[in-house]
Amino acid sequence: MTTDETAVYEDLRRRVADFLAAHVPQATDRLAFLRARYDAGLAWVFFPEGHGGLGLPRALQPEVDRLFEAAGAPDNNRHANGIGLGMAAPTILAFGTEEQKQRFLKPLWTGEEVWCQLFSEPGAGSDLAAVATRAVRDGDTWVVNGQKVWTSGAHNARFAILVARTNPDVPKHGGLTYFLCDMTDPGVDVRPLRQITGEAEFNEVFLTDVRIPDSQRLGAEGEGWKVANATLNNERVAIGGDAAPREGGMVGVVAQTWRDHPDRRTPELHDRLMRLWVEAEVARLTGQRLRQQLAIGQPGPAGSAMKLTFARLNQDLTGLELELLGEDGLRYSDWTLVRPEKVDFTGRDAGYRYLRAKGNSIEGGTSEILRNIVAERVLGLPAEPRVDKDIPWKELAR
């Protein structure tokens, strides 16, 4: 560290120590503690002052979180609000008005308001720009009608980030607008989608005459594609770029299964495990570099490569674990319909991990689309022909 960096680091540690002295975790109400932490700028230290941060480098956030955890401080249950923290918050910060930031960021960080994402539709998944959900202006409000699908956590959400079509007369990318939708509106109908795992963490959401104030439009009318891309870049980093120790995540689970079953080992399985272990380590180190880049700017298309790698590794590793366990890997302990707050890969059996990993190559952008993004925006390869680029959305076949 330079002298200036050391001074910033030490000042931050003093701030945390002073805060903990004034708000003893064991003697302070959980929600009051979290609200005070936000007000002190110790929630997201890399956010601006007044919005839960101090305008410091993002690289300092893990140290702040570590200090609070060591003191026994309550956390904000980030796993139950991953979409809010990882996707909605940075998008609101980048595109929101000051009033929107003041209204939404604090209860989002404290976990008082959980968020979900209303993007994908039955006819607009990989091709998000094809969304058909319509938002029609009516004075100071927008009336929204349509259907969304694969909405994680909608059953627990208070608000949603929503992309809807506001102008069908222009090409599909230009006619979208981005909104902040109140999930308690009487026109919002959330229905569970039961997955192959037996759970229903996803939902389909029907929107019937849902009224959204224009004050909850994020960004300019017609700029929804631009705002949505910022959200998606953050999503892919959040899914595939989490910090993890060596042999953390799925590779650690499978490596432990290998150690626990010496009777099941074969040379072929050993070679596959070693190859995947090396690939997981390369991905971990690449993720460190990506987070360093994030510390000085906004996420870019490189996050798509991390998410693509995450999905492939998870599927390959869970498949290897199932082969290693043989008939024991076919056992499935729980098929009851539950509505989980978070996906738990490590606390379940191998059969669950194998089935749930299949969704990793769909959620957060399909692997096929992510390969196109990496090819065109990272490697600079020629773009695929897009014959519908200049055709008004209403003239497209659907």
Residue 247 sits at φ, ψ, to 5 deg, of 60, 30
Strand (E) positions, 194-252?
202-213, 217-218
Lookup: tokens for 32: 């009051």
The C-alpha atoms of residue 313 and residue 240 are separated, in whole angstroms, by: 11
The one catalytic residue in 113, 201, 204, 235 is 235
**Rounded CA gap, 309 and 303, in Å?**
10
Cβ atoms < 10 Å from Cβ of 253: 18
**Looking at this protein, which amino acid is placed at residue 120?**
S
In angstroms, the CA 398 to CA 396 distance is 6
Instruction: Say if residues 175 and 131 touch (Cβ distance below 8 Å).
Output: no
What is residue 114's DSSP assignment? -
Residue 2 CA: distances (Å) to CA of 9, 54, 164: 10, 19, 48
Closest C-alpha to 284, from 262, 257, 261, 313: 313
| Distant-in-sequence, close-in-space partners of 366: CB < 8 Å, separation ≥ 6 | 125, 126
Say if CB 277 and CB 284 are below 8 A apart. Answer: no
* Measured distance CA(18)–CA(299) in Å, rounded: 33
Beta strands in the chain (DSSP E): 115-118, 134-138, 141-149, 159-165, 176-182, 188-193, 202-213, 217-218
Classified as helix, coil or strand, 135 is strand
Residues in the chain: 398
> Is 376 an active-site residue?
no
State the catalytic residues.
235
